[in-house]
């Protein structure tokens, strides 16, 4: 049995959760008034949105067709992360968790991009209407968690690694 199996299972579970919740959001939120459902007043709601761009809707209003460019970049990233996860040491738990979440998030949004040409977002945090966080989905959250864990791992490695000798 591959000792990496639990990490790939985590990626699959997160990917399934992402796709199921996006299907729910599309079915339930797309057709209600204002495409929004308040869950915690003035703080949290589900709001149906589609994003043609990348994180925080960057490039969403581009005149160019970005679907296949972004899908290609996502595919390369998913393959790279998957290979890195496969090859990383089994003792590197934080790294493996980080890569699992990154892989799930990248593939989740890649599926939307290929299927729909854009990504379905629906999680919407806000403070009254004064402050709003960009609408996102589980794949986006998984990417953020994975990136944060990866950053922590990189900082830990920098502290642990011996100082490099300098040339004189």
pLDDT, tens digit, for every residue of 143-167? 999 999 999 999 987 776 665 566 6
CB distance 122 to 47 below 8 Å: yes
Nearest-5° Cα angle at 82, 152 to 97: 35
Whole-number Å distance between alpha carbons of 27 and 37: 13
- Nearest residue to 139 (alpha-carbon basis) of 78, 76, 68: 78
Residue 35's pLDDT is what? 73
Structure pTM? 0.85
State both tokens at 30.
């797309």
pLDDT (0 to 100) of residue 164? 59
Residue 52 CB neighbours (<10 A): 18
Instruction: Name the catalytic one among 18, 112, 121, 124.
Output: 121
Can you tell me the mean pLDDT for 131-152? 95
pLDDT tens column, 115-124: 999 999 999 9
Per cent of the chain over pLDDT 90 is 65
Has 33 been annotated as catalytic? no
Catalytic-labelled residue, pool 18, 112, 124, 140: 140
Highest average pLDDT, of 22-36, 46-60, 83-97, comes from: 83-97
What is the spatial distance between Cα 136 and Cα 46, in angstroms, rounded to a whole number?
10
Q: Return d(Cα 150, Cα 157) in angstroms, integer.
A: 10
Look up 124 and say whether it is catalytic.
no
Closest CA to 122 of 139, 97, 110, 106: 139
- Mean model confidence pLDDT for the chain: 88
């Amino acid at each position: 049995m591959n000792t990496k199996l639990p990490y790939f299972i985590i990626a699959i579970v997160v990917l399934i959760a992402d796709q199921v919740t996006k299907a729910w959001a599309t079915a339930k939120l797309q057709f209600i008034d204002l495409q929004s459902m308040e869950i915690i007043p003035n703080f949290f709601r589900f709001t149906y949105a589609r994003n043609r761009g990348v994180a925080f809707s960057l490039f969403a209003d581009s005149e160019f067709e970005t679907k296949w460019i972004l899908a290609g970049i996502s595919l390369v990233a998913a393959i790279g992360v998957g290979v890195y996860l496969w090859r990383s040491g089994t003792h590197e738990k934080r790294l493996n968790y980080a890569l699992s979440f990154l892989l799930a998030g990248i593939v989740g949004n890649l599926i939307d991009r290929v299927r729909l040409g854009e990504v379905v977002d629906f999680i919407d945090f806000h403070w009254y209407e004064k402050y709003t966080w960009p609408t996102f989905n589980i794949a986006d959250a998984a990417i953020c968690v994975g990136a944060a864990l990866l950053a922590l791992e990189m900082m830990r490695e920098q502290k642990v690694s011996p100082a490099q000798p300098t040339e004189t």
